[in-house]
Amino acid sequence: MALAALVNTVVSLLLALLVFRVSTWACLLCFTTYSERIQICKMFVGGSGSKTKACEKTLELSFNSLQSLEIDYDQRNYVHDTFLQMGYSLQEMATAKWTHREAFHEAAVKMKVFISQLKKAHTCIPPCGVQELTRRFICNGCYSLICKLPLNCPIQDVIVNPGDQAMFSCVVDFQLPKEQISYSWKFAKVRTQDMSYFHDLPLAQGFVARVRPVKYSHRGTYSCMIKHDLRPLARLYFFLNVTGPAPPGESKLQIAFREVVRWARTKPEVMEPWKPSVVELLASPWTWTWEDLCELAAIVAVVSATLTVLVWMFCRWYCSGP
């Protein structure tokens, strides 16, 4: 048992030393390959195996000061290009007969100055949200990291009197991407953040939702989800608490409105056919139909025949006089 415990302790220490060693030069590993580092050392010390390994060790230790640097995630390509350019510069130094120790130290100092002048990552803004702009690249491990904040924001209380307007703004303190942002709203009758109690509000669109006039039945939790290209960024909650007496005249207004709705349902509006008179047809010729034209032609024919008969009778009477 004692031997097993001793072996476990030794293994743990070896692993810890290995992790510590890796962390001291992980920044160099993130942006250069093993073959690139070996090629640089061969330019300085030749092709000897032992000398090349010692040179590589010196190169790693020279960049030990970069182990704790954090880089804005969007800047990592610039850093990669700078490390690539550093390789060319070291080759030129080897041609100019620099010693590898002096050349590596000079390159590490310049690299640290360059990285320190890069744009910094955005700081985390609590209390919630997936803040993608805070993503930073960790040299000590070659991985990226963003703020470890929950997706759900705390519930905000909104107190409104009946009959007034309630407005909810789905706005966060951290910066959102400029494109492909969408908002969706849900409602629950109770104060909760459990999404199983919520149902969709399809009529609510955009980052602002409002309820007017507020009724006691509107009391509950309103939730807004912010998404970027279908990826959730934050979920906000607003608890609407309807308090106070109803405004004067509200009950009578509601009763009148229900009566109008009830009357509209029992007596639906019916479209009646239009039956214009002759005068209306003459005033609106663009509304004539074939039936109207036939009817008008018949009237004109009757009037013409009547006038003809009257004129003939008048002429006959006049000519038969003494």
Q: Based on the fold, state whether residues 198 and 130 are members of the same structural domain.
A: no
| Model confidence at 288: pLDDT above 70 | no
Q: Based on the fold, state whether residues 81 and 160 are members of the same structural domain.
A: no
Read off the pLDDT of each residue in 218-234 and give the average, rounded to a whole number: 95
Residue 119: inside a domain: yes
Q: Please give the residue that has the higher pLDDT: either 315 or 234.
A: 234
| Model confidence at 121: pLDDT above 50 | yes
Read off the pLDDT of each residue in 153-176 and give the average, rounded to a whole number: 95
Do 1 and 44 contact (CB within 8 A), yes or no?
A: no
Residue 269: inside a domain: no
Q: How confident is the model at residue 221 (pLDDT cuts 50, 70, 90)?
A: very high
pLDDT of residue 7: 39
Q: Based on the fold, state whether residues 203 and 161 are members of the same structural domain.
A: yes
* pLDDT tens digits, one per residue of 86-98: 999 999 999 999 9
Q: Based on the fold, state whether residues 127 and 156 are members of the same structural domain.
A: no
Most confident of 25-34, 108-117, 255-264: 108-117
Do 144 and 138 contact (CB within 8 A), yes or no?
A: yes
pLDDT of residue 159: 95
Residue 193: inside a domain: yes
Q: Based on the fold, state whether residues 130 and 180 are members of the same structural domain.
A: no
Do 67 and 26 contact (CB within 8 A), yes or no?
A: yes
Residue 48: inside a domain: yes
Q: Which of 87, 118, 142 is the last residue of a domain?
A: 142
Q: Based on the fold, state whether residues 135 and 28 are members of the same structural domain.
A: yes
Q: Which of 242, 266, 284 is the last residue of a domain?
A: 242
* pLDDT tens digits, one per residue of 31-72: 999 999 999 999 998 877 888 989 999 998 888 888 778 899
Q: Based on the fold, state whether residues 134 and 159 are members of the same structural domain.
A: no
Residue 272: inside a domain: no
Read off the pLDDT of each residue in 155-172 and give the average, rounded to a whole number: 95
Q: Based on the fold, state whether residues 171 and 59 are members of the same structural domain.
A: no
Residue 273: inside a domain: no
CATH, residue 216 = 2.60.40.10
Count of domains for the chain: 2
Mean pLDDT, the chain, as a whole number? 81
Report the alpha-carbon distance of residue 129 to residue 27 in Å, rounded.
29
Q: Domain residues for 120? A: 22-142
Q: How confident is the model at residue 164 (pLDDT cuts 50, 70, 90)?
A: very high
Q: At what angle do helices 76-95 and 2-31 cross, to 10 degrees?
A: 80
Q: Based on the fold, state whether residues 74 and 122 are members of the same structural domain.
A: yes
Q: Based on the fold, state whether residues 138 and 26 are members of the same structural domain.
A: yes
Percent of all residues in the chain with a pLDDT value above 90, rounded to a whole number? 49
pLDDT of residue 246: 61
| Percentage helix, strand, coil for the chain under 3-state DSSP, each rounded to 5 | 50, 20, 30
Residue 268: inside a domain: no
Do 223 and 237 contact (CB within 8 A), yes or no?
A: yes
Q: Based on the fold, state whether residues 112 and 223 are members of the same structural domain.
A: no
Q: Which of 142, 177, 192 is the last residue of a domain?
A: 142
Q: Based on the fold, state whether residues 237 and 169 are members of the same structural domain.
A: yes
